[in-house]
A = this chain, B = another copy of it.
Amino acid sequence: MRRDLEDARRGGAFSAVERDAAARIIAAIRRDGDAGVLRAVRRFDRPRATTRDLVADAVDLRRAARGCPRDVRAALGLAYSRIRAFHERQRPREIRHRDGNGDVRLVPAPLDRVGALVPRGLSAYPSTALMTGVPAQVARVRELVAASPMPRDGSLDPALAYALTLVGAAALYRAGGAAAVAALAYGTKSVARVDRIVGPGNAYAAAAKWLVSADVGIDALQGPSELIAIASADADPRVLALDLLAQAEHGAGAFAVLITDSPALLRDVAARLEKTAPRVLLYRAPGLLAAARAADSAAPEHVLLAGRRAAALADRIRHAGAVFIGASSAVAFGDYVAGTNHALPTGGTARWSSALRVEDFIRWTSRVELRGGQSRLARAGVSIARHEGMSYHAASMEARV
């Protein structure tokens, strides 16, 4: 099972079909600008869209936000404050090393312009506006814009608008998938080019992010959502079944795996799953340690450790987007209000990438300010430069002594 999970799930955020379709959309938008975006929006989202529909500015967002129901407004406010509190702890500080030779530093600076992708499912996803917007705001990005597909009726979800006002977004571009990525990467008349594109999307958006990534920064590629739950016998089967069904609810290839060493628990959970839950797989493992190894090796987006013996395995999970520990830590809390980010690496990419963080909105400049008379440094530098065949490098260091 371990090797299956690992081999099957590395990368895979998009297929060649999606890549080629995304490449065609990008080429069209680089050539035709807004007209290309509009064609894509009419084809995929709203047949009657016009160029004017494509951008909602900060004033439009504030106006639309007034329609946000009171309970959703309060909920987004609480989510915002918790996500913000956790991300504030991630704010970077200058790194400096000073000695008799002088001063070397890494100086952090926020990115100038960032574009956040906010996908649509059955409805708008204001939670994703918070997850992509808060770290940008904490990093003090100069201008944050968002892109999200419009529904068929062209309406603007008031909760999405409210979430975007909380994070200080300057505009919402009302396009999704590869079209949004192309417009943000290269700019059009109504969309200014950004320095980095972040946030989840469908397979076309993931393919497009990859395609533009030689020309603009991107965050991790995000494929279908995944959960591996490891449960010991004392886990609550009712709660566990809800977590697995919640995972499958993400749609579009999302899947959930339960691994347990308890045949009784396995039976109880199976009985509580809906008759057809094809996206939920149940495994019995010889022991929980083997289960933890399999999960770590698969490096999935989410790991849930349910039950006391399972919770004790947290330190064994080195490769995962996010780990939820213990009976009270529903994965869904992490989607909304725990404070951690829900934009997470998928498809085994957690072997090298991480949740969206404040760091993704920062760049670092090295600064070198040496004192005069660096004879020791120059001697060493000259030896290496000569060995590497770089005679002017050597001369430029010698000239400083």
Contact = CB atoms under 8 A, between A and B. Distances in A.
Contact of A104 (B78, B248, B338): B338
Interface in A67-91: 69, 71-72, 74-76, 78-79, 82, 85-86, 89-90
Given A111-B351, A332-B396, A341-B366, 17 more contacts: A11-B215, A102-B329, A106-B355, A109-B318, A210-B213, A217-B349, A217-B351, A319-B365, A321-B365, A328-B370, A328-B374, A329-B368, A332-B394, A333-B370, A336-B393, A340-B366, A359-B359
14 contacts: A72-B384, A79-B384, A86-B104, A104-B340, A109-B318, A122-B389, A159-B384, A216-B352, A249-B393, A319-B363, A330-B399, A331-B396, A332-B381, A333-B381
Interface string A271-311: 00000000000000000000000000000000000000000
* Chain copies in complex: 2
A167 B244 CA distance: 44
A397 B364 contact: no
A204 B385 CA distance: 25
Contacts of A394: 332
A327 interface: yes
A323 interface: yes
A164 interface: no
A255 interface: no
Given A216-B352, A322-B367, A400-B330, A121 B389 contact: yes
Given A328-B400, A380-B337, A90 B95 contact: yes
Contacts of A351: 111-112, 195, 217, 363
A175 interface: no
A370 B329 contact: yes
Interface of A: 10-11, 13-14, 69, 71-72, 74-76, 78-79, 82, 85-86, 89-90, 95-97, 99, 101-102, 104, 106, 109, 111-112, 121-127, 159, 195-196, 210, 213-217, 221, 238-239, 242-243, 245-246, 248-249, 314, 317-341, 344, 349-355, 357, 359, 363-374, 376-385, 387-397, 399-400
